[in-house]
């Protein structure tokens, strides 16, 4: 037994199906298994074992999101000697043309994408991942992709605003939209290119993809910057800060001190207690709005890279690993 699983040794089969929703686990067992037996009910995260076409098989609900799934995956492998876990849901419906986990890097400049893909792939043994990378300048290589992250465009230079990039990046976005529409019209698209809000609207218009499948990355990035600056000011770990930034990705963004908590305590209460002044918080708000420009000033050539990339990947992970829960 574990804190999350009450099953005894041997209750699970070698192969376990892993949906998110407990009721989906129950439905799978009752619909497809012969003689299903419930083996887990802790916290209503249901688990069953039965047979399918004469083969012993189990199904165990993993809950919503990767942190919850990671608990059950770890305990099933470590304590119940399970040999194979198959994710059931949006990530478990595998079509023949899809190679799950493959990553394609695309760049119109021949060689750049191939070189970067090879560079990343060579870190696989260090970072412990097993993913196939492909670098290409051919749009056909992104065919039937599930998620697209767009970074194409000219970066800012010192003194430039995001809006200064509008003309040239609109032309680039039109080409990208045509390539994606032709090869993966069902993809979910995350745009990082500046000026972000305009580029998202332009891409959706050029590609005619559904509006609910085209989003901008800014919310996570701007909130992350805001949390960092608060963390530095208040000398608390960034993970203890719960904060939100809304609005456009630029001068119109709105950090929300009224919805910000520091280690569970409202930021407004800290202001009232004299821990930090309203004026200092407004300076932090403005620094958040200028977060990208500050980096551009230091770099002189190029713009922010790591934080936008991490934010885009975070959105992709949330989409890939929680979409089945959202569908339910």
Single out the residue of 150, 142, 149 nearest to residue 98, CA to CA: 142
Reading the block at residue 79, the tokens are: 């304590």
Q: How far apart are the first and last CA of the chain?
A: 29
Residue 249 annotated in active site: yes
β-strand partners of 245:
255
Q: Cα dihedral angle (78, 80, 81, 82), rounded to 10 degrees? A: -100
Q: Could you tell me the maximum CA-CA distance found in the chain, to the nearest angstrom?
A: 70
Q: Which of 24, 156, 227, 249 is catalytic?
A: 249
In residues, how long is the chain? 328
Euclidean distance between CA atoms 294 and 130, whole angstroms: 36
Euclidean distance between CA atoms 215 and 179, whole angstroms: 18
Single out the residue of 308, 315, 290, 318 nearest to residue 153, CA to CA: 308
β-strand partners of 246:
254
Question: Which residues are marked as active site?
Answer: 249
């Amino acid at each position: 037994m574990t804190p999350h699983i009450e099953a005894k040794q041997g209750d699970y089969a070698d192969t376990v199906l892993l949906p998110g929703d407990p009721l989906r686990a129950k439905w799978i067992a009752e619909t497809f298994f012969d003689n299903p037996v419930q083996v887990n009910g802790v916290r209503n995260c249901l688990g069953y074992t039965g047979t399918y076409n004469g083969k012993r098989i189990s199904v165990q609900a993993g809950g919503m999101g990767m942190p919850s799934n990671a608990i059950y995956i770890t305990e099933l492998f470590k304590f119940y000697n399970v040999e194979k876990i198959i994710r059931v849901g949006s990530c478990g419906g595998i079509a023949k043309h899809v190679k799950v986990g493959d990553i394609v890097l695309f760049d119109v400049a021949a060689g750049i994408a191939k070189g970067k893909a090879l560079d990343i792939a060579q870190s696989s043994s260090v970072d412990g991942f097993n993913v196939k990378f492909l670098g290409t300048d051919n749009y056909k290589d992104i065919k039937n992709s599930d998620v697209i992250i767009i970074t194409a465009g000219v970066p800012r230079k010192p003194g430039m605003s995001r809006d200064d990039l509008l003309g040239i990046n609109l032309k680039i976005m039109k080409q990208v939209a045509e390539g994606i529409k032709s090869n993966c019209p069902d993809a979910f698209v995350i745009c990082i290119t500046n000026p972000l809000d305009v580029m998202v609207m332009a891409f959706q218009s050029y590609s005619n993809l559904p509006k609910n499948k085209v989003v901008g990355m800014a919310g996570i990035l701007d909130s992350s910057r805001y949390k960092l600056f608060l963390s530095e000011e208040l000398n608390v770990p960034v993970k203890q800060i719960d904060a939100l930034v809304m609005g456009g990705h630029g001068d119109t963004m709105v950090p929300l001190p009224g919805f910000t908590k520091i280690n569970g305590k409202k930021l407004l209460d800290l202001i009232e207690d004299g821990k930090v002044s309203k004026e200092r918080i407004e300076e932090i708000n403005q620094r958040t709005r200028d977060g990208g420009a500050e980096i551009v000033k230091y770099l002189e050539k190029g713009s922010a890279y790591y934080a936008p990339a991490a934010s885009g990947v975070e959105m992709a992970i949330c989409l890939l690993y929680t979409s089945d829960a959202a569908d339910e």
